Amino acid sequence: MSQILAEILAHKRQEVTDAKRRLSFADLHERAIQASPIRSFARALDEKVERARPAIIAEMKRASPSRGVLRQDLDPAGIAGLYERAGAAALSVLTDERYFGARADDLARARGACRLPVLRKDFMVDSYQIAESRAMGADCVLLIVAALDAGQLEELYAAARSYGLDVLVEVHDADELHRALALPGGILGINNRDLRTFVTTIERTIDLMGVVPANRFVVTESGVLERADVSRLKGAGLHGFLVGEAFMVAPDPGARLRQLFEGWI
């Protein structure tokens, strides 16, 4: 585990402790079960592929630890509309404030402005956050294998499914992939960024997807910045893409999405 990931997880555990003092799990659970109906995240990806189109999870975030500030003037509602019109299958919204600059209502504003399902992208360390995700309107949650032991991974996966949430299970190497495949399901996300060095290469996805069973949907994460990257991954048989940075630094994120995937969407 990298130093920055360890630091983020330590801070996240403290955030959860503080949140539990403000709102009990029982009250949070009640909010979760009364939240707006789930939009099927997995089905939205499948439907794109069935129509021979890329399943693009378009991300919004203001900053990241590795790249610094990306877009200070982020308008979640406006960008959600741009992404939907450009052909995205789903949204990914960063909800971490300290390291990614998120604001409390970013996810709700984005989801309320479109019909797309939304991934809450954050660092899950406690089942409290799963209920919190559903309460805020998320349709899918991210579980990072590198951040969880086997018991935690199984517990959080089960908690997510109990609320009807889809799960994007993120891996970085073959060992993490083996652990992810032990789960009964989940969308498989292969992160091309090495968490220790922050070096990014799309070859990571190409190398690992070859051993993924045909019934598991694969999404590549990080490093898709140019049309050549899309072409390389498409040629390797990949259909799922989670893209954030390339869109966030563009004047018009929707136009950049269409440009990056031109001829395929």
Catalytic residue from among 15, 64, 222, 245: 222
221 is catalytic: yes
pLDDT digits (tens, 9 = 90+) for 180-218: 999 999 999 999 988 777 789 999 999 999 999 999 999
**Cα separation of 4 and 98, whole Å?**
12
- pLDDT value at position 67? 86
Q: How remote is the C-alpha of 144 from its chain's centroid?
A: 10
pLDDT digits (tens, 9 = 90+) for 99-141: 999 999 999 999 999 999 999 999 999 999 999 999 999 999 9
Domains in the chain: boundaries: 3-260
Catalytic residue from among 170, 176, 192, 245: 170
Catalytic residue from among 12, 15, 48, 61: 61
Nearest CA to 186 out of 216, 208, 223 is that of: 216
133 is catalytic: no
170 is catalytic: yes
CATH class of the domain at 3-260: alpha beta
Give the dihedral sign, CA 127/130/131/136: positive
pLDDT digits (tens, 9 = 90+) for 217-243: 999 999 999 999 999 999 999 999 999
- pLDDT value at position 57? 99
191 is catalytic: yes
